[in-house]
């Protein structure tokens, strides 16, 4: 299957090579209707995290459709031991940086801003205020973690015109409550609860759902049951509508040990852009993720 986006040319700048700022008439901005179309024709959606202007522009030029300014930046940029310490102000700063970089090269990517821990837990009104900060910074969509209680918050945001991506399975902001970075949704009861939460979130209007570290069979089932909410997997097998990876992981520059479901796309590539393009190609042709790398 071919990519919805075609890679842009690059041009030198005093600070290195950035994707060209010349207009790319054949590239249309990624939007919710375009993502729905991709889903309907069976084309996989690609997502990568980025936290600054340059990497975001390179990811866009490599053909990545969705850029997640993830709160994983707490771990990969700030050196924190979990994402729980990331603040809304930090997310605003990085979202703005990513959006400026994308605007500079007339990029087409869809940008998700991650609502950090504590910025949407108090009330729906608090969630709206926090989401507005990221939307003012240029995000097209916000992401929040958890199921059950979050459905009401998702509905509140969606009704007010804010596209929302939900996040189930391993939710890193609550890693301490989960007892570590463990697979979620194993066993009948846990699987049923995850499926119920996914349906509730779709019903509340979530247009995307990240499924992190859940059994491949379960994420496939959830993907089939959701029609207007696109599942984006990370360590969740190949059955989801799209895939996401933390950029540092897929470039093989993780400070710790890479999760076993991650592939180092830098291997055999001459540049970051080529590595990202290889990721896009592998997701589109179904060769990533490799289900053999999932013991769950
Ligand atoms: O913060 C993040 O990067 C994420 C991804 C792991 C999906 O939530």
Q: Measured from the CB, is residue 49 less than 6 Å from ligand 1? A: yes
DSSP summary character for residue 68 = E
Let me know: does 165 contact 208? Beta carbons within 8 Å: yes
Cβ(244) – ligand 1 distance below 6 Å: yes
Geometric angle at alpha carbon 203, from 33 and 172, rounded to 5° = 90
CB atoms within 10 A of CB 261: 23
Task: Collect all residues with Cβ–Cβ distance below 8 Å to 217 and sequence separation of at least 6.
Answer: 237, 239
Q: What is the 3-state secondary structure (H, E, C) of 197-226?
A: HHHHHHHHCCCEEEEECCCHHHHHHHHHHC
Structure tokens at 262: 């991650």
**Torsions phi, psi for 231 (to 5 deg):** -80, 135
The per-residue pLDDT for 20 is 55
Residue nearest to atom 8 of ligand 1 (CA): 70
| Bridge pairing between strands 110-114 and 242-245 | unpaired
Report yes or no: 185 and 220 within 8 Å, Cβ to Cβ: no
Residue 15 has pLDDT above 90, yes or no: no
**Between the ranges 4-13, 180-189, 271-280, where is the mean pLDDT highest?**
271-280
CA distance 120 to 214: 24
Please tell me which residue, 27 or 98, carries the higher pLDDT value: 98
Instruction: Provide, rounded to the nearest whole percent, the portion of the chain with pLDDT above 90.
Output: 86
Residue in the structure block whose two tokens are 């996989």: 44
Q: State pLDDT tens for residues 254-264.
A: 888 888 899 99
Q: Helix, strand, coil % (nearest 5) of the chain?
A: 40, 15, 45
Tokens of 147: 């199921």
* From 89, 152, 212, 274, active-site residue: 212
User: Average pLDDT, stretch 70-90?
Assistant: 97
Report the Cα 53 to chain-centroid distance in Å. 17
Q: Ligand 1 centre from 247 Cα, in Å?
A: 10
* Interval 80-109 mean pLDDT: 97
Q: pLDDT: is 80 or 9 the higher one?
A: 80
Phi and psi dihedrals of 232, rounded to 5? -125, 115
The mean pLDDT value for 242-269 works out to: 94
How far is it, in rounded angstroms, from Cα 121 to Cα 144? Answer: 10
pLDDT, one tens digit per residue, over 190-205 is 999 999 999 999 999 9
pLDDT of 3 over the 50 cut = no
Tell me how far apart the alpha carbons of residues 125 and 128 are, in angstroms, rounded to a whole number.
Answer: 5
Place of tokens 């496939």: 220
Strands 45-49 and 10-13, by their bridges, are: unpaired
SS3 97: helix
Ligand 1 centroid, distance to 246 Cα (angstroms): 7
Q: Please list, in sequence order, all residues whose beta carbon lies within 8 angstroms of the beta carbon of residue 164, skipping any fewer than 6 positions away.
A: 141, 142, 143, 144, 154, 157, 158, 205, 206, 207, 208
Kindly give the distance from the C-alpha atom of residue 13 to the centroid of ligand 1, in angstroms, as a whole number: 30
| 259 vs 207, residue with greater confidence | 207
Q: Specify the pTM.
A: 0.92
Distance (Å, rounded) from C-alpha 21 to C-alpha 40? 31
pLDDT at 17: 55
Burial class (CB in 10 A: 0-12, 13-18, 19+), 145: buried
Predicted pLDDT of residue 2: 40
Q: Where is pLDDT greater, at 256 or 288?
A: 288
How much is the mean pLDDT over the chain? 92
Q: For the residues 241-264, what does the mean pLDDT come to?
A: 94
Atom of ligand 1 nearest to the CA of 72: 1
Measured by CA distance, the residue closest to atom 4 of ligand 1 is: 70
Kindly report whether the peptide bond that precedes residue 289 is cis, defined as omega within 30 degrees of 0. yes
* Ranges 110-114, 147-151, 168-172, 289-293: which has the least confidence: 289-293
Per-residue pLDDT at 291: 75
Q: Which of 8-12, 162-166, 206-210 has the lowest mean pLDDT?
A: 8-12
pLDDT at res. 256: 83
- By alpha-carbon position, which residue is closest to atom 6 of ligand 1? 246
Least confident of 5-14, 30-39, 95-104: 5-14
């Amino acid at each position: 299957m071919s990519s919805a986006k075609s890679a842009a040319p690059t041009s030198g700048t005093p600070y290195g090579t950035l994707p060209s700022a010349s207009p790319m008439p054949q590239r249309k901005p990624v939007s919710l209707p375009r993502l729905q179309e991709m889903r309907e024709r069976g084309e996989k959606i690609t997502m990568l995290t980025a936290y600054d202007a340059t990497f975001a522009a390179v990811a866009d030029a490599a053909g990545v459709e969705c850029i997640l300014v993830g709160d994983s930046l707490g771990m990969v940029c700030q050196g924190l031991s979990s994402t729980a310490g990331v603040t809304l102000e930090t997310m605003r700063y990085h979202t703005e940086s990513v959006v400026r970089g994308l605007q500079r090269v007339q990029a087409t990517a869809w940008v998700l801003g991650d609502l950090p821990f504590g910025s949407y837990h108090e009330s729906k009104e608090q969630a709206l205020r926090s989401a507005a900060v990221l939307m003012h910074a240029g995000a097209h969509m916000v992401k929040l973690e958890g199921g059950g209680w979050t459905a009401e918050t998702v509905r509140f945001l969606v009704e007010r015109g804010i596209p929302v991506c939900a996040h189930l399975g391993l939710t890193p902001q609550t890693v301490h409550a989960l007892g570590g970075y463990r697979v979620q949704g194993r066993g009948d009861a846990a699987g049923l609860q995850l499926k119920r939460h996914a349906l509730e979130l779709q019903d509340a209007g979530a247009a995307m759902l990240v499924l992190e570290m859940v059994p491949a069979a379960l994420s496939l089932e959830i993907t089939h049951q959701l029609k207007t909410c696109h599942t984006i997997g990370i360590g969740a097998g190949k059955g989801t509508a799209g895939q996401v990876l933390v950029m540092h992981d897929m470039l093989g520059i993780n400070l710790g040990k890479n999760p076993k479901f991650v592939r180092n796309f830098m291997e055999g590539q001459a540049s970051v852009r080529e590595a990202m393009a290889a990721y896009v190609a592998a997701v589109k042709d179904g060769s990533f993720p490799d289900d053999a790398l999932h013991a769950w």
